[in-house]
Amino acid sequence: MMSAMGEMPMPGGWTMSMTWMRMCGQTWPDVAASFLGMWAAMTVAMMMPSLVPMLLRYREAVFRTSEARLARLTMLVGAGYFSVWMAFGAVAFPLGVALAQLEMQLPALSRAVPVVAGMIVVVAGAFQFTAWKARHLACCREMPQRGRTLQADAVTAWRHGVRLGLHCGYCCAGLTAILFVIGVMDLRAMVVVTAAITAERLARSGERAMQAVGVAFVATGLVLVVQGVLAQ
């Protein structure tokens, strides 16, 4: 049964978001459109605090142009950036639906979800210590590099936004995975992940912030694994 919060109780003592379900009278395109709408709102809310400094660096790097044109180009950078996140959402939706169907059909799999979710959080925390993460985080924090100038044209602006979005998406892969296993529209999870992303991008030492976030999520994941095992 669907709960008042839009969740379905599942074997294993957890609840599944109805985001992945087709309600009476809905078509799958309707469900996908609803998900992508929520995904767009979520990503804008979560990424904007860390995107603003990147947009300011872009404005500083653009070769001399009028303020009105610079404003339009900056908006185009943002559009390119969020187009990447929308593409990630378009890929995530069918995967989420397929996994939800399996969990509903296989009670044994459903009962294992709390433990598996905790393990994913542990792995995502460990991802914070990898060279891959550090490289893409550095790109997010430093693009464009100081002293570099960019052409004041739409193609350059769009490409810059897409590159930022790709680096950001790769950088946030672990944190995004945490968001999915905890609850893609869970407000508490969104606040925690937003705080982690913002800290990494804006802290004086991005690497230290990155590692601190990793420690916190590894510890949290271990707690979730233990709780899931004890609940079996």
26 backbone dihedrals φ, ψ, rounded to 5°: -90, 150
Model pLDDT for residues 55-109, shown as the tens digit of each residue: 999 998 887 778 888 999 999 999 999 999 999 999 999 998 888 888 888 888 8
d(CA 51, CA 32) in angstroms, rounded, equals 26
At 114, is the pLDDT very low, low, confident or very high (cuts 50, 70, 90)? Answer: confident
Matching residue, tokens 């992508």: 36
Model pLDDT for residues 139-191, shown as the tens digit of each residue: 888 888 776 788 888 999 999 999 999 999 999 999 999 888 887 667 888 88
Question: 197 near 46, Cβ under 8 Å?
Answer: yes
Question: 123 near 77, Cβ under 8 Å?
Answer: no
Cβ neighbors of 53 (< 8 A, separation 6 or more) are 201, 202
Average per-residue pLDDT for the chain: 86
Tell me if residue 10 falls in helix, strand or coil: strand
Q: Output the CA–CA distances (angstroms, integers) from residue 224 to 39, 70, 100, in the order listed.
A: 25, 47, 20
Matching residue, tokens 């950078």: 77
Q: Give the tokens for residue 226.
A: 């233990």
Please give the distance of CA 224 from its chain centroid, rounded to a whole number: 20
- Name the residue with higher pLDDT: 98 or 23: 98
Percent over 90 (pLDDT), the chain: 43
